[in-house]
Chain A
Amino acid sequence: MKKLLAFTLVIGMLLSLVTISSLAADEVVKPDKIIMMVDATVVTSINGRDQFEARWEELTGIDLEIIQPDHDAYYDVMQQQIASGDWPDVLILSSTVYSSYAAEGVLWDMTDAWNNSATKNSGRFIGDSVIDGLKINGSLYGFAPARGNGCLTYIKQAWLDKVGLGAPTNYEEFLAVCDAFVSQDPNGTGANDTYALAAAGFIGFEAPFVNYLPNFYQDAYPFFIQQEDGTWVDGFTQPAMQGALERLADAYAKGYIDPTTLTNGTKDCRNKFYDETTGIFTYWAGTWGTNLKVNLEANGHDGQLVALPPIAEVDAYYDRVPPVWAITTACENPEGVFKYFIDTMLDGGDMQMLWTYGVEGTHWSRAEETILDVPYAAGQFHMLESLEKAGTAYTKNHIDPMLSLAAFAEGYENPMELTVKPEAKLSSQVFNSHSKLAKIVPTTEVMSMYNGDLTTLKNELVAKVAMGEMTFDEAMAKFETDGGLAWSNAIVDSLNALN
């Protein structure tokens, strides 16, 4: 009798748990309409946004309203929209704006929703570390369907062959390659007209600031970093910065670094790489591996590139914090928007296909046809010709297949192998195997107050030391006298106060 009673109780408890959980699941009401604000990382109007919207609505049964300002004006328009009080339900944000808006209470805390989400528990999701990196003081306010990607160093194989050196594995070997690229006429013009490398400035405009010159910065980082014990420091004031700036100054003085690095844009650097002025280029992993090769060949040069694993002193390349999808606190049904918008993005099926490759018949097809002079058999996946740029084919929609944080479901055809070129794949593999996530830096009121002046001062000092106009000690003295150290300490204190 006791056993029967115990058995009945257990069954009863289990049933009640199932009922409670099913009730909880049922509590999420499907929204009638979702207003989304996004930049041009989702197909634009001219590229078939209406078809994307129609397909998304077909898959969810929800009315989707898309607000998509011009890509370059996105953050201006978005901030005006927020200021007007007319907030969208869901929007895409860069890492900087994400942490600021989270601190200001603009974003809905999706920690619980994420922990119980289908995506996280799908068994296909491989981005737990990325999502953890998006947490601010343990809370998650945004979701990234893909990694942020980063830069790795490419070296021209033909130049290495010409100077008789292999791919460098440490800084000493890297300098030897730089020296040979400057002194041994690797482009064969007979003139002293080469530099080892060029970069768009000595310090980047956004995190991770060191990604164009990782081989010189190595373990130094000029922005705020959280140490293993959880305390914050300003990397600019740490001992490693001296070594980094002296390495930059040394390489610049020896002519390894293009003298116009200070005023270069990224396009200038690419052009110098294509026209054989430079032989080393630290640039984006993945698709750019193919782009660099194609452009070198288009300029009549050997396109074979070494996608260099980080040299010993670098340890790992920085994987930048990806842009995130966030739900605003003005959203009336955030659980519903999470479930039907965010949690479906990587469903492993039709919706993931839509976000990754776009709409069948508009952006991709399996029909028997010839696209841009390439014939395709019936059933063979292929991307279609761009509606905006005739003569080029689409490569993806919002999610880069090489950076996606979830695989397609078993049995669902993943066309990545058919769409990604081998160089891009190799570059991506090298980067993925040797990268570490850049961390979100929370925003504080003190940071908003001083960081503009502080960044201007830091950038000036880095440039002046690198170009030999100042020694490191002189730079640090100026840093102190101009108020930089005081601002830096105030920001560090404000960050540590968050702990």
Chain B
Amino acid sequence: MENAPPTNIKIPKKPLSIRLLKYKWFYLMFIPVLAFVIVFYYTPMVGIRYSFTKYNLIRDPVFVGLDQFKRLFSMPNFWSAFYNTLKLSIVKLLLNTGMAVVLSLLLHEMVNLKTKKLAQTIIYLPHFLSWVVAASVFQLLLSPTTAGLFNQVLLKLGIIDKGIYFLGKSSWWTPTYYVINIWKDTGWGTVIFMAALSAIDPGVYEAASIDGAGRWQKMWHITLPALAATILTVLILNLAKVMNLFESAFVLQNDAVMDKAQVLQTYIYYQTFNSGGIPDYGYTTAVGLFKSIVGMILVLVCNYASKKVRGRGIV
């Protein structure tokens, strides 16, 4: 018993000055990052105060308390944009993550290294196209006229008898939006999952093979459980960003589908540039602040969920 290792040993903390001196190069390297965060992330938060004012950039801001929030809560277009933001973002996130997992598993199963690399390159490529270019390409591909390749194929196959305006009809816009998003971002989403898959010990697969496990069983009992933590992390991290939806919705929306395609960021955009006068920046800041608060709540909920599921949080 005398040789048993002591427990609960408290290592005395060295004074701050000594610690600072010891790690001075780390702190020095951290200064630019700290400056960047302060200048670009925290200083702009001073602008939050405008959400409690009426402000048109010409006259001094006039404090109006919570009036801007009362106004936005009374606007049906705001709630429509809020609903669309959550719906489009969350469904997109689930679809993209699900597809990325499936694609990663398929790629993981590929034996020929050259073919695998080629496939990876091809599926990564759309991620590097700007949304403006992607939207132009799909507007052409999905055009209901003779210029629209997709409609022409469907017509030739006899599936439809008249071109469908995929991006111009409310009923078609949302599914089309999801498909374009899957096409553009799924490939890139596989990067993390492929990294996680490559970290699985091959010995586990070998042992499973010796035990008589087939390919499906190995995937179900080894691969997917090994990926579960990564899937959860990816979902949680991306859930925190769902309120920031803008570019993809903005470039693909048009007048006829605004009831389905208007999201909070585009709502702010149109309030600013479509007001027919000088916009009230107090109102648009209030919308932005509300969006940030909802985003923050989502992060905290996710963090709580992560603690429950994984035993540790993400923030």
Select one of A99, A100, A467, A482 contacting B256, CB under 8 A. A467
**Minimum distance in angstroms from A447 CB to a CB of chain B:** 5
The answer to whether residues A259 and B165 also contact, given A202-B255, A447-B275 and a CB cut-off of 8 A, is yes
A483 partner residues in chain B, CB cutoff 8 A: 75-77
Cβ-defined contact, A260 with B274, below 8 A: no
B259 within 8 Å of A (CB atoms) = yes
Chain A CB within 8 A of B57 CB? yes
CB nearest to B146 among chain A residues: A193
Using a CB-CB cutoff of 8 Å, which residues 144-201 of chain B contact chain A? 144-146, 163, 165, 167-170
The smallest beta-carbon distance between B231 and chain A, in angstroms, is 36
B248 lies within 8 A of chain A by Cβ: no
Query: Which of B145, B270, B280 touches A448 (beta carbons < 8 Å)?
Result: B280
B258/A456 in contact, CB under 8 A: yes
Residue of A nearest to B165 (CB): A259
Q: Which of these, A262, A441, A459, contacts B168 with CB under 8 Å?
A: A262
Residues 276-307 of B, flagged 1 when their CB comes within 8 A of A and 0 if not, give 11111001000000000000000000000000
> Complex: how many Å from CA A208 to CA B76?
27
B9 within 8 A of A: no
Question: Which one of A443, A459, A463 contacts B277 once the chains associate, using CB atoms below 8 Å?
Answer: A443
Across the interface, which residues of A come within 8 angstroms of B71, CB to CB?
449
- Asked whether any CB of chain B lies closer than 8 Å to the CB of A238, the reply is no
B146 neighbours in A (Cβ, 8 Å): 191, 193
In the bound complex, do residue A451 and residue B275 qualify as a contact, i.e. CB atoms below 8 Å apart?
A: yes
The answer to whether B238 has its CB under 8 Å from any CB of chain A is no
Q: Is B120 interfacial (CB 8 A cutoff)?
A: no
- In the complex, how many angstroms separate the beta carbon of A232 from the nearest chain B beta carbon? 13
Which listed residue, B255, B272, B275, B279, touches A262 by the CB 8 Å rule? B255
Q: Which residues of B contact A103 (CB under 8 A)?
A: 277
Question: Which secondary structure dominates chain A's binding surface?
Answer: helix
Q: CB within 8 Å of B: which of A275-292?
A: none
User: Which A residues are CB-close (under 8 A) to B170?
Assistant: 464, 469
**B139: CB under 8 A from chain A?**
yes
Q: Which residues of A contact B169 (CB under 8 A)?
A: 467, 469
Does B10 belong to the interface (CB within 8 Å)?
Answer: no
Cβ of A104 within 8 Å of any chain B Cβ, yes or no, is: yes
The answer to whether A260 touches B76, judged by C-beta atoms less than 8 angstroms apart, is no
Distance, CA A492 to CA B62, complexed state (A): 25
Residue in B58, B75, B167, B259 whose beta carbon sits within 8 Å of that of A453 in the complex: B75
Inter-chain CA distance A460–B270, complex, in Å, is 13
Could you say which residues of chain B place their CB within 8 Å of the CB of A100?
277-278
Give residues of chain B (226-278) contacting chain A, Cβ–Cβ below 8 Å.
Answer: 254-256, 258-259, 262, 270-272, 274-278
B275 pairs with A452, CB closer than 8 A: yes
Nearest 5 A-B pairs (CB), nearest first? A443-B277, A83-B57, A463-B256, A463-B255, A451-B276
Q: What's the Cα separation between A101 and B258 when bound, in Å?
A: 30
Give which listed residue, A97, A202, A260, A451, contacts B145 with CB less than 8 A: A260
Chain B positions within 8 Å of A, measured between CB atoms, are: 56-59, 71, 75-77, 139, 143-146, 163, 165, 167-170, 254-256, 258-259, 262, 270-272, 274-280, 283
Interface size on A, residues (CB 8 A): 44
- Residue ID in chain A nearest B273 by CB atoms: A452
Residues of A within 8 A of B283 (CB): 449
Chain A residue numbers with a CB within 8 Å of B165 are 259-260, 262, 467
Q: How far is the CA of A262 from the CA of B256 in the complex (A)?
A: 8
A457 beta carbon closer than 8 Å to chain B: yes
Q: Which of A105, A191, A452 contacts B270 (CB 8 A)?
A: A452
Q: Decide yes or no whether A269 CB sits under 8 A from chain B.
A: no
11 contacts between A and B (CB under 8 A): A101-B278, A104-B59, A104-B278, A106-B58, A201-B254, A259-B144, A259-B168, A262-B168, A443-B278, A448-B56, A463-B254
A462 touches B (CB below 8 Å): yes
Chain A neighbourhood of B75, CB < 8 A? 453, 483
Nearest-Cβ distance from residue B268 to partner chain A, whole angstroms: 10
When the two chains form their complex, are residues B254 and A262 in contact, meaning their CB atoms are under 8 A apart? yes
Min CB gap A472→B, angstroms: 15
> Binary interface profile of A, 71-103, with partner B (CB < 8 Å = 1, else 0)?
000000001101100000000000011011101
| Complex partner residue of A441 from B57, B59, B77, B276, CB under 8 angstroms | B276
A258 touches B145 (CB 8 A): yes
Contacts of B254 in A (CB 8 A): 201, 262-263, 463
* Closest CB in chain B relative to A325 CB, distance in Å: 19
> Beyond A457-B77, A459-B255, A463-B255: 7 further Cβ-contacts under 8 Å?
A82-B58, A193-B146, A259-B168, A453-B75, A464-B170, A467-B169, A482-B76
A455 on interface, CB distance cutoff 8 Å: yes
* B272 partner residues in chain A, CB cutoff 8 A: 452
Residues 443-494 (chain A) with a chain B CB within 8 angstroms: 443-444, 447-449, 451-453, 455-457, 459-460, 462-464, 467, 469, 482-483
Q: Note all chain B residues with C-beta closer than 8 A to A444.
A: 277
Contact A456 B274 (CB under 8 A): yes
